[in-house]
Structures are given as C-alpha cells and as structure tokens.
Amino acid sequence: MRLPVIVALLTLLVLPGSHAAELFSEDDLATARELRDRALSRDGGFDVVEDLTTRIGPRLAGSEADARAVAWAESLLTDLGFDRVWLEPVTFPTWSRGFERVRVTAPVEHNMEALAIGFSPATPVGGVEGEVVMFDDLAALQEAQAEDVSGRIVFIRNRMSRARDGSGYGPAVQARARGAIVAAELGAVGVIIRSIGTSTNRFAHTGGMRFDVGQRRLPAAAISNPDADQLERLIALGEPVRLHMEIDAQKTEAYTSHNVIAEITGANYPEKIVALGAHLDSWDVGTGALDDGAGIAIITEAGRLILDLDQRPDRSIHLIFFAAEEIGLWGGRAWAEAHHKNFENLQLGAESDFGAGPIYEIGARVVDAAWPVIEAIQRELEPLGIALGSRRASGGPDFLPSLPHGLAVVDLRQDGTTYFDYHHTENDTLDKIDPQELAQNAAAYAVLAWLAAQSPIDFGSGPELLEQERER
Amino acid sequence: MRLPVIVALLTLLVLPGSHAAELFSEDDLATARELRDRALSRDGGFDVVEDLTTRIGPRLAGSEADARAVAWAESLLTDLGFDRVWLEPVTFPTWSRGFERVRVTAPVEHNMEALAIGFSPATPVGGVEGEVVMFDDLAALQEAQAEDVSGRIVFIRNRMSRARDGSGYGPAVQARARGAIVAAELGAVGVIIRSIGTSTNRFAHTGGMRFDVGQRRLPAAAISNPDADQLERLIALGEPVRLHMEIDAQKTEAYTSHNVIAEITGANYPEKIVALGAHLDSWDVGTGALDDGAGIAIITEAGRLILDLDQRPDRSIHLIFFAAEEIGLWGGRAWAEAHHKNFENLQLGAESDFGAGPIYEIGARVVDAAWPVIEAIQRELEPLGIALGSRRASGGPDFLPSLPHGLAVVDLRQDGTTYFDYHHTENDTLDKIDPQELAQNAAAYAVLAWLAAQSPIDFGSGPELLEQERER
C-alpha cells in the first residue's frame, strides 16, 4: 500500500472502536496510534537493511559473513540503546557452494543458468552426464520404475503458481526438498528441477533439501524458469536430450553461530516477553535484502520506535535475530530448546520473514480468552489496511519449533505476490524493497508489540494453550 | 497492442482514404488488407523464433553457432518456397568470451554480476586489482587528470533512462563504446561500467566497444544495475573501495560468415527490390530472442504471407538475414558494398531490430514525390495503431552503411519501453516475446512490403535521393 492511501484511510478513522476502549486504556491506544503514525512518516528501517546488505552482503549460515553479521547485529542493537543485548549459541552443520555448471550436450549445446540446491553433494570432478528423463512432479517420480531412471538425470518440471499468500510454494517445493533423495533410490545420477519461483527472469532459485542424517542423495540443481522452458522444448524435438552437470560443494559437521537478542525491559512485568523475530542469515547468492534483511529492518524499526517512547511497556519486548534459518531453522530450534520451559511467560512470538510487501491480515494462535485482545489490536491495524484473519497462525518459520510447546503466535500476513520472483535468487537485492511498504510493516509490528505488551491478559502460551487445543 | 484492440480498430475502418485509392488499385489495397487480417490471425512467426532460439540458441558472429544459424536459415527459407535463396559472404574479425569475474575486495568482499564488453582484451592471468575511481559519465572521464586515474580501475556510473523510442540508449552507451579507450590513455588498469539497460534485475548488459584498429583499450566489463548501486553505496561509506577483475577472451582477425537472402521474384519488375532486413547473429549470453530472433520471425512471417498469395508482387521482395550485426554491422557493410551500385533498383530498405514490441509509427526517407505513397501506406497501417511519423528514418542498423549511398528507407518504429530490460543480457529469451505483438509487427511489414512492391512510383534510392537532399 502506498502512503497516500494509508493517509486517506487514517483520515477516515474518526473514532476508535468501543471494544478496544474496554480492553486497553486510552493512553495505551493513543500511544499505539502515535507509534503507527510515526512509523508511517519514516522509512521502515530501510537504513538498517541498506547497511546490512551493503556492509555484510550475503551471509550464508556458517560462512565468514555469518560471524560478521552477528557482530554487526550486536553492535547495531547495542548502539540503538536496547536495555539488554546478548547472544545465544546455535550449532548446526554447514554447506557451502563451490560452483555449479549445467549444460545440455545433445541434441545441441545449451548452457543453463543453474544453482546447486543446498546440501547437494558435489559431483565427481569432471561432472556427470546422462540422458534426461522428465517428470511432472515429485509424485510422478515416486511412481517411476528404476529401469526408466537408472543412469539418467532426472528433470522435475513442476511450476510454482503465483499467489498473494505464497501458497503456490508448498506444493512445488517438494521437488526440491525430496527429488534428490527419491531419485537416488531409483539409481539416477543427478537431479535438475525447474526453479521454485514465479519469475520468468533467468535466475535459478536455490534452497534446501530435506533429508535424514546419512540418507543418500544425488547432486541436484535448480535451473532458471526460461532454461526449464528451453529444456522442455528441446525434449519436445523428440531426440534424446543429454545433460552434463558438475557441482562443487563442501559441508561441515558443526559450526556455532548465535541468535542475537535485544530487550526492551518491561516496566511492570519484565519477565513476560513479547518476542518479535526475523532471521539474520541468508542464502549465498543475493544480498538477502527481501529474505530476510527486510524482516530485520522491520522489527528493528518497531523496536526503536518503542524505545523512543517516554515510557517502557508493561511487559518486555525481545527482538530475536535468528541464526541459520535457511539451512534448517537451527536458530528457531535452539531458541525453542532454550526457552520452552519459560513459555508461560511468553506473550507471543511473531516473525517477519516474507519480504517487504504490505501486510493485509492478522491471524493469531492464542487462548480463547485472548482472542478479543487480538480483535482489539486488529482495530488499531485497520487503518493500515490490515484485516482480521483466522485463528490459525504459525508465527513464522523460526517459531515453528516452538509450536509443539504451545507458543502463542501472531501472523502479520504480507502480500507475497511478487516475493517468489526474488526469493533465494541472485536478484534478491536492496532495490527490490519499497521503503513505504517497509514502513507499513514496521507500523504494524510496533502497534502489535506495544499493545501485546500492554494487554490486560496473557495470550496463554505453554500448557494452557496446548490443553485448550486438545479440548477443541 | 493486444488483438482485441486491433480488432476494435479494424471495425472502425469503414472506408479507405480517397488518396490511397488514387495511388493504389483497389485490388492492391484489398490484398494489403487481406495480408493484414491474416497476419493478425496468426502468431507473427513465433514458430520461427522458437525454432531458432531452441535449435541454435545464442549465435555470436564467428562462433560455431554462427555457421549452424546460416545453415538453418538457408534451409528454412528454401523449405518455405522462396523463389531464390542464396548466401553472400561477410568477413569480419571475431571476439569470444572466456569468462569474467569482477569482485569488490575492500572494504568488504562482494561478487558482482558482470559481463565483459565485446572486444575487451583479456586481463593478465590472475586478473588486475586497483582502487576504484568513479565518474559520472564518459565526458567526466575525458576531463580527468591522469594522476587521479593512473593505476586505478575506472567506474562509469551513468544510468540509461527508459523511453518508448529507446532514446536513452545513445547517450548512456558512450561509456561502453569509448570508456576503455579513454581510460587507457589515462593509465587506468581496467574499466567497469554500469550496465546500459533499464532493468533493475541483476543481469549485466554486454555489447561492443568502438575503437580504431590497433587502438589501445583496457579490459572492460559491465556490472548489473543492482551491483552498480551496491558499488556506489560501498564508495559512499567513505573508505577506499578496491576491485579485482579477471577477463578471459580471445579474438581472431578474420572469419567469413554469410548474409542469407531470399527472394520473392517480382512479376513485372523483378530487378526492382523491396528489402526487408533483420540480423541473424546475436550476443552470446541470451538466446537472442528479442535481439534479433524477433526480427527474423517478423520478416519471415511477412514474406511467407506474401508467398501464400495467388499472385507475385510487381517488384521483387528480398528478405535479408544479416550477419555479424552485433559486433560491427559487418553484414550491413558487406551488403552496401555489394549492392550500392544497384540502388536505383532498390525501392526501400527496412530492418526489424528493436525487439517484439508493437509498432506505433512509420517514418521514411524517400524522395518528395514518393512521400504520398508513404502516407497512403500509413493509412493501411492505421488500423494497427501505427501513426504517420517524420521524414527522417535510418532503416535500422544494417542499412546505416547504405545511407551514404542514398538508400530509401522506412522505419516501422516499435515500442521499446521494455526492450532495454532484456537486450544484450542472459535474460533475452523466448518467453519475453508476446506472439500477439509479434503478429502486429508482421502485419505491418507484410502491408509495407506488398504496397511498396506495388507502388506506382519508385522511392528514389541512389543518386536521385542524394541530390534532392543536397538541394534542401
């Protein structure tokens, strides 16, 4: 949403809802509106993501840049005047890209834009070559006979569809997550997938595989969507199509990075926590501007807007810059492991990790008694164009490991129509972020964090929420 | 323009203009309208550019694919039933890309998306490194002192502006054409330019340099626009910024390719020629779909529409697939050299080489007496959304060498608003072509070729046109 639209909507808001007045004090509501207006007059933390993507750039978990990013974050949050800033260790296996080269060798030579999929093994030096066998999707590959696949290079051609909520990603990404494992069982020598992205620009889309420790998997790469089109056209010519692929990549067993956490200490209930998250790591090919520099910017901006108030909130607010999200939610896992015994004090978790598009809806997983508080918060978000959504929410990827422990979570759902044009590609760069859209996001997170911290009741994280869900 | 719009415009056309009726017979006008309508009901030769970009792919002049493209073209045009198909030799120096790597080494490491500029020399093995010195444009570099440039890597940051007629290209491209020569005189060790393109996608834009034989020039590369932004931000941090660049490239002194020419032999004046052109070669990084597979498709479609008529036109129509346009207009030069003595028989030249966007205007360089014929042709193009333009025209790049010899030329000016988003990048692939827009182009070329071949008067190519221009 553009600022003039937001301003027009603000003008329409003459009176606050009467329900909100019952739950929150007039002072707290006035502060929420002040936060919202101030956020909209600024750039949403664009300076933060600009600095991160310029000084650090790509920051694959476990790389040299990971450590520089953690130091950058600690320094930034300390300089901004948060009451406490600390690091919590996160240990994970790493993977690093050497290079990837994929080319058609028959019936004609054609060089493909390709990226190895994260945790792809290297090919033998000199690469592998084989005839291509094409499948519509992972399910079709799963039904294939070994004799049709053995010794060949599997090509999975499924296309991701564009949607505001990004719902095209889940079905399509199965090819990336599991293709190299399934194809290994069938005796293939390599796997190529159409990129799991919506762009027709010639960028390949990387991302992780999903495998068990020690499970055999093949060298695997994604090719750009125009190259996948070209491969389909070459196959349609009717002659055998052969591919050569060479991948160089390394992995290590364990690297220790850190979640970086900053606290605005609550004035009345310092032990109770509203947790805003984003992840600090990125894939190695773009500069991680949309994924997830934007999230880092949004929650940092929300935090410093609240820091600038004349008062501290009732509860504490934590910003969590998660480590190693991209390669397996390791920061989220470590945080859940370290904190789940304290979830009764966690008011909520909410992560910004879907680019910089405007937020259009709020959803939440809270106990029944707290839902009216979410409704009251939504009324303060309404002028930002944010509607009330469902009572299903995930909180974002890094809070997924906390869901089984009953963490109450809020989703501020962003318009992701164009997100998968850039996500996990070389093209995820700063110019793809609109500061006005970033400001709308920061306004929403500031209002959410503030009102959640001032809420008359807790959201029920931990045993209470789990018990209520069991009873439903 | 979309087909529904075109159809709506056609419906509005109730009566032909009275002037047209005076110049062309009703039969010829009816045939022109039949060509136009049939072209709009088809896909503009999309099958041609699909086959070219699939079977041949990138086809840099002088490469192995150049020879394959020439054979493909000869075979295609023969199979389509043109009355004559032949090759004319074109000899030129060649250049081929090995690789290019450009990265910032200080104050932080950052890998750039880069493409060597055509005819860039290779760097020494291991590359060159130097502090970056930034200039606003070529003119600023030309005014620089050697002491500020010597031993450094020059970065020219000028930005190309977007325009329907592509007029942003000329001013910006000076940096690419001359930067490496000017910087060599000042003692620099390498040159980097912001890509001469309008996209914010992370593709570098290649293209040629302009230099005299034996003139010293530096290794030079273009970086993508997001990388140029990043470089400017790094420079703005205030610390010295250092770049490392390594380029591998080869050149040869002479290769002989061919212009491929197909003729529809005129029924009454077979020696008089309407020449439609496009270039068969492309840069080496995309598949040359927009540049200039689209042009090949458009003129081929126009030609086969006319071939399918029950009659041959009065004059002959030639399709010329020019060789080696990208690296120095060598096909156009060879054609001018071979044919300029016969220009009195050349009715006109018109090349399609500006992508696949819709044509919005016709302009022409013809003798005064023939301008009413151009006006009459425009009236038949009006339903396609094509307005009457000026009496200045170039005929397209491959006819430029023919202009000093007085060739009459027509420009069918295409909307190039997005052309420079793709031009000379890896992203110039088939999916960027809209078959409906291609069909509008083919309709216009078919109408132009037919009516020019049936014109009651010649357009005055050769001495007559030159003399008239001298007298003005």
**What's the CA gap between A193 and A187, in Å, rounded?**
17
Same domain? For A149 and A17 the reply is: no
Q: What is the pLDDT of residues A95-134, one digit of tens each?
A: 999 999 999 999 999 999 999 999 999 999 999 999 999 9
SS3 state of residue A44? coil
Instruction: Name the nearest CA neighbour of A11 among A23, A3, A19.
Output: A3
The two structure tokens encoding residue A184: 């290994």
- Asked if B229 and A200 come within 8 Å (Cβ–Cβ), the reply is no
pLDDT of amino acid B18: 45
pLDDT of amino acid A13: 43
Both ends of chain B: CA-CA distance in Å? Answer: 37
Same domain? For A216 and A313 the reply is: no
Between A54, A200, A202, which is nearest B230 by CB? A54
**What's the CA gap between B312 and A118, in Å, rounded?**
61
**What is the value of pTM for the model shown?**
0.93
pLDDT at A172 over 50: yes
Q: Give mean pLDDT, residues B438-448.
A: 98
Residue A431 has phi, psi (to 5 degrees) of -60, -15
Chain A residues with CB under 8 Å of B50 CB are 233
A97 in contact with B, Cβ within 8 Å: no
Same domain? For A144 and A61 the reply is: no
Q: Is the ipTM of this complex over 0.90?
A: yes
pLDDT of amino acid B5: 47
- Asked if B287 and A230 come within 8 Å (Cβ–Cβ), the reply is yes
Q: Which residue do the tokens 């998306």 mark? A: B113
Instruction: Name the nearest CA neighbour of A273 among A334, A348, A331.
Output: A348
pLDDT of amino acid B472: 83
pLDDT of amino acid A472: 83
Instruction: Name the nearest CA neighbour of A332 among A405, A415, A271.
Output: A405
**What's the CA gap between A304 and A298, in Å, rounded?**
10
Q: What is the pLDDT of residues A360-377, one digit of tens each?
A: 999 999 999 999 999 999
pLDDT of amino acid B7: 44
Q: What is the pLDDT of residues A263-306, one digit of tens each?
A: 999 999 999 999 999 999 999 999 999 999 999 999 999 999 99
The distance of A430 to chain B (nearest Cα, Å) reads 8
Instruction: Name the nearest CA neighbour of B207 among B298, B276, B285.
Output: B285
Helix A64-79 to helix A294-307 angle, to the nearest 10 degrees? Answer: 20
Q: Which of A53, A54, A203 to mutate to test the interface with B (most CBs of B within 10 A)?
A: A54
Residue A258 included in any domain: no
pLDDT of amino acid B187: 97
Q: Give mean pLDDT, residues A368-396.
A: 97
**What's the CA gap between A147 and A6, in Å, rounded?**
60
**What's the CA gap between B459 and B472, in Å, rounded?**
17
Chain A residues with CB under 8 Å of B430 CB are 226, 229-230, 233
Question: Per-residue b/e over A396-417, b at no fewer than 16 CB within 10 Å?
Answer: bbbbbbbbebbbbbbbbbbbbe
pLDDT at B54 over 70: yes
Instruction: Give the contacts of A119 (CB within 8 A, at least 6 positions apart).
Output: A95, A208, A209, A211, A217, A251, A327
pLDDT of amino acid B14: 38
Residue B343 has phi, psi (to 5 degrees) of -65, -20
The distance of A235 to chain B (nearest Cα, Å) reads 10
Same domain? For B337 and B209 the reply is: no
- Please give the helix or strand (H or E) that residue A272 lies within, else none: strand A269-279
pLDDT of amino acid A10: 44
Same domain? For B311 and B335 the reply is: yes
Count of CB atoms within 10 A of residue B226's CB? 26
Q: Give mean pLDDT, residues B89-118.
A: 97
Same domain? For B374 and B450 the reply is: yes
pLDDT of amino acid B272: 98
Residue of B nearest to A55 (CA): B108
DSSP string, A101-114: EEEEEESS-EEEPE
Residue of B nearest to A53 (CA): B230
Confidence of residue B459 (pLDDT cuts 50, 70, 90): very high
A166 in contact with B, Cβ within 8 Å: no
Alpha-carbon B249 to chain mean position: 24
Count, residues in chain A: 472
Between A113, A286, A429, which is nearest B426 by CB? A113
SS3 state of residue A277? strand
The distance of B238 to chain A (nearest Cα, Å) reads 12
**What's the CA gap between B203 and B426, in Å, rounded?**
7
The secondary structure of residue A208, as a DSSP letter, is: B
CATH number of residue B151's parent domain: 3.50.30.30
Residue B257 included in any domain: no
- At position B20, the amino acid (one-letter code) is A
The alpha carbon dihedral of B298, B301, B305, B307 has a sign of positive
Q: What is the pLDDT of residues B119-168, one digit of tens each?
A: 999 999 999 999 999 999 999 999 999 999 999 999 999 999 999 999 99
Instruction: Name the nearest CA neighbour of B323 among B118, B35, B65, B136.
Output: B65
Weakest mean pLDDT among A59-68, A298-307, B207-216, B323-332: B207-216
Confidence of residue A4 (pLDDT cuts 50, 70, 90): very low
A196 in contact with B, Cβ within 8 Å: no
B212 in contact with A, Cβ within 8 Å: no
- Asked if B226 and A427 come within 8 Å (Cβ–Cβ), the reply is yes
Judge contact between B327 and B354, C-beta under 8 A: no
Chain A residues with CB under 8 Å of B431 CB are 200, 225-226, 229
Judge contact between A99 and A247, C-beta under 8 A: yes
Same domain? For A41 and A175 the reply is: no
The two structure tokens encoding residue A449: 């964090």
Confidence of residue B22 (pLDDT cuts 50, 70, 90): confident
The secondary structure of residue A52, as a DSSP letter, is: I
Residue B112 included in any domain: yes
Residue A71 included in any domain: yes
Note which residues in 336-395 of chain A have CB less than 8 A from chain B: none
Q: What is the pLDDT of residues A249-260, one digit of tens each?
A: 999 889 999 999
Same domain? For A63 and A185 the reply is: no
Instruction: Give the contacts of B235 (CB within 8 A, at least 6 positions apart).
Output: B132, B134, B241
Q: Which of B54, B68, B159 to mutate to test the interface with A (most CBs of A within 10 A)?
A: B54
Same domain? For B298 and B443 the reply is: yes
Same domain? For A41 and A182 the reply is: no
Quick one: CA torsion of B375, B377, B379, B381, rounded to 10 degrees? Answer: -130
- Asked if B233 and A286 come within 8 Å (Cβ–Cβ), the reply is no
- At position B414, the amino acid (one-letter code) is Q
Q: Which of A47, A194, A429 to mutate to test the interface with B (most CBs of B within 10 A)?
A: A429
Cα–Cα distances in angstroms (integers) from residue B82 to residues B79, B272, B313, in the given order: 8, 16, 13
The distance of B133 to chain A (nearest Cα, Å) reads 19
Calculate the average pLDDT of chain B. 95
* Count of domains observed in chain B: 2
Cα radius of gyration rounded to whole Å, chain A:
23
Q: Which of A250, A278, A300 is the last residue of a domain?
A: A250
User: What pairs with residue A466 in β-bridges?
Assistant: none
Residue B444 included in any domain: yes
Residue A323 included in any domain: yes
User: What pairs with residue B410 in β-bridges?
Assistant: B364
Burial of A344 (0-12, 13-18, 19+ CB in 10 A): middle
pLDDT of amino acid B19: 52
A459 in contact with B, Cβ within 8 Å: no
Instruction: Name the nearest CA neighbour of B135 among B92, B186, B206.
Output: B186
**What's the CA gap between A179 and B463, in Å, rounded?**
68
Residue A89 included in any domain: no
Q: Which of B249, B280, B310 is the last residue of a domain?
A: B249
**What's the CA gap between B373 and B379, in Å, rounded?**
10
The distance of A202 to chain B (nearest Cα, Å) reads 5
Question: Per-residue b/e over A199-231, b at no fewer than 16 CB within 10 Å?
Answer: bebbbbbbbbbeeeeeeebbbbbbbbbbbbbbb
Same domain? For A174 and A298 the reply is: no
- Asked if B202 and A50 come within 8 Å (Cβ–Cβ), the reply is no
Percentage of the residues of chain A whose pLDDT score is greater than 70:
96
pLDDT of amino acid A212: 85
pLDDT of amino acid B211: 86
Q: What angle do CA A126, A131, A134 make, to 5 degrees?
A: 120
Confidence of residue A19 (pLDDT cuts 50, 70, 90): low
The distance of A227 to chain B (nearest Cα, Å) reads 9
Domain containing B110: what range?
Answer: 96-249
A56 in contact with B, Cβ within 8 Å: yes
Chain A residues with CB under 8 Å of B108 CB are 55-57
pLDDT at B2 over 70: no
The two structure tokens encoding residue B30: 């009816």
pLDDT at B214 over 90: no
Instruction: Name the nearest CA neighbour of B276 among B29, B47, B442.
Output: B442
The secondary structure of residue A419, as a DSSP letter, is: G
Residue A260 included in any domain: no
CATH number of residue A63's parent domain: 3.40.630.10
B226 in contact with A, Cβ within 8 Å: yes
Judge contact between A395 and A409, C-beta under 8 A: yes
- Asked if A55 and B108 come within 8 Å (Cβ–Cβ), the reply is yes
DSSP string, A24-40: S-HHHHHHHHHHHHHHH
Q: Which of A189, A218, A250 is the last residue of a domain?
A: A250
Instruction: Give the contacts of B448 (CB within 8 A, at least 6 positions apart).
Output: B302, B350, B362, B377, B381, B410, B412
B171 in contact with A, Cβ within 8 Å: no
Chain A residues with CB under 8 Å of B229 CB are 429-431
Instruction: Name the nearest CA neighbour of B142 among B182, B187, B190, B191.
Output: B182
Percentage of the residues of chain A whose pLDDT score is greater than 90:
93
Same domain? For A167 and A226 the reply is: yes
The two structure tokens encoding residue B380: 């038949």
pLDDT at A3 over 60: no
- At position A33, the amino acid (one-letter code) is R
Judge contact between B226 and B44, C-beta under 8 A: no
Q: Which residue do the tokens 């221009």 mark? A: B469
Helix B371-381 to helix B26-40 angle, to the nearest 10 degrees? Answer: 40
